[in-house]
Each structure stands twice: as C-alpha cells, then as structure tokens.
Amino acid sequence: MTSPQPPYGQPQQPGPPPGYPQQGYPQQPPGYPQQAYPQQPGNPQQGYPQPYPGQPYPPPAPATGPSPVFAIILGAIAIIVSLVIIIDFVTTTSVIVVVLCVTGGAALAAGGVTLVLRHWIAPWLFVGATALFVGYYVERVLYKFQHLEPARGDTTAEAFYSWSAIATLVPVAIMTVLVFLPFIRKALKPKATAAPAQPVQYYQ
C-alpha cells in the first residue's frame, strides 16, 4: 500500500504552523525558483586603505623640524655664564647690586636649563634676566652721576661707561636675541593647551 498523499498531490514544506508569519526573506511558493538576495561579505572595507596581499605597509614619513642642537648648546653656555655672574657678584657689598645680579644670574640659569629641555618658557626667562641686568646697568650709571668730580676732570660721558655692567649685560642680551631666532625658537616644545570640551549629545 502506498502512503497517503496530502491534498493536491504536492508534499508539504516544513515550517511553522498555519497562521504564523515566515521569518527572514520572503520565500517563493513551491515549484518556483527562489530569488537570490544580495549578500554583504563582498563589499570593500571602509576606513583606512588596506594594502594588497603581500604588499608591505608604507614606511612612516621621517619627522622634519629644526634640530635642537643649537638650543642645547646655547642653554649650556647660558648656565656657565650664569654661574660666573653669581659667583662674581654674590660677595658685593651693595645690596641692590646683589639682588639684581644674583637674581638675574638665577633667571639666566633657569633659562639655560629650560632651553636644554626645550621648554617653551625658556625665551621669557632670558628676557627676565636681561631686564634685571639692564636694571644693574642703570644703577651703575646713576651711582657714577652722584659721584662725579668735575674738579678732578670727570665728565658726564664717563658715567655711562660702567664696564662691569656692560660686560655683564651684553652677553646676556646677545643670548636673548639668539633664543628668539627661528632655528632655535621652532626647536622648542609648544605650550600644552587643554583640549576643547566636547558638546554633550543627547540620544533619543
């Protein structure tokens, strides 16, 4: 005996009971060719370009920028000059001279150290040291004006020739000018800035 066949002589397809919706893509009735829906795996990847199989990654571009050698050399010279100035003026009897020159030497030493470290604040420490030594030169000129003796042949012009102040101010001023030149200034690390706050986004 043959097994009983379902109505209409067609085998029933396995699936959910009648009344339930089909899951996934819609299927064609039995006996019709099924439609092929597009698949995604063949799409190219998005983002950074990928090398072909067997092709090496391109080498990173070499970093370009001013060399820090000149900044390091100038910083070392500033440290040596500052030590000479501090040792020379720390035993001076004039309090104002000690304050101006020792403080200026300390500022110059700090500028030299930060310049070796390529810190962005180094040029402004050199400016501060130069300002203190300008103050020392002005103090020497005023002191000589107060002690001029015309009877001895002293002239007004001689008051401006304070050789100790000039010999101290000129090297520091030269180093201050050099530290602002592009090939040294660009070798310094930029000032760190805080990242801007991102706006808060609300999702529905």
Tally of domains in the chain: 1
pLDDT of residue 188: 87
pLDDT of residue 160: 84
What is the C-alpha separation between 121 and 114, in angstroms, rounded?
7
Instruction: For residue 74, give every residue at least 6 positions away whose Cβ sits within 8 Å of its Cβ, in sequence order, or none.
Output: 112, 115, 175, 178, 179, 184
Q: How much is the pTM?
A: 0.61
Name residue 50's amino acid. Answer: Q
What is the C-alpha separation between 101 and 83, in angstroms, rounded?
11
The reply to whether 26 falls in a domain is: no
What is the C-alpha separation between 25 and 19, in angstroms, rounded?
17
Q: Biggest alpha carbon distance in the chain?
A: 153
The reply to whether 53 falls in a domain is: no
DSSP output for 5-47 = PPGGG-PPPP-SPTTSPPPSSPPPPTTSPPPPPP-STTSPPPS
Name the stretches of the chain with pLDDT < 70.
Answer: 1-66, 192-204
pLDDT of residue 174: 96
The reply to whether 25 falls in a domain is: no
The reply to whether 172 falls in a domain is: yes
The reply to whether 8 falls in a domain is: no
8 Å CB contact between 168 and 85: yes
What is the C-alpha separation between 168 and 146, in angstroms, rounded?
22
pLDDT of residue 67: 75
The reply to whether 15 falls in a domain is: no
pLDDT of residue 80: 97
CB-facing half-sphere around the CA of 134: CA atoms within 13 A: 9
The reply to whether 117 falls in a domain is: yes
Question: Which two three-digit tokens encode residue 152?
Answer: 């001895």
The reply to whether 158 falls in a domain is: yes
What is the C-alpha separation between 22 and 26, in angstroms, rounded?
7
The whole domain housing 159 covers: 69-185
- For 23: left if phi > 0, alpha if psi spans -120 to 50, otherwise beta; the answer is beta
pLDDT of residue 110: 97
pLDDT of residue 155: 80
pLDDT of residue 21: 55
What is the C-alpha separation between 119 and 111, in angstroms, rounded?
9
8 Å CB contact between 104 and 132: yes
Q: What is the pLDDT of residues 104-151, one digit of tens each?
A: 999 999 999 999 999 999 999 999 999 999 999 999 999 888 888 777
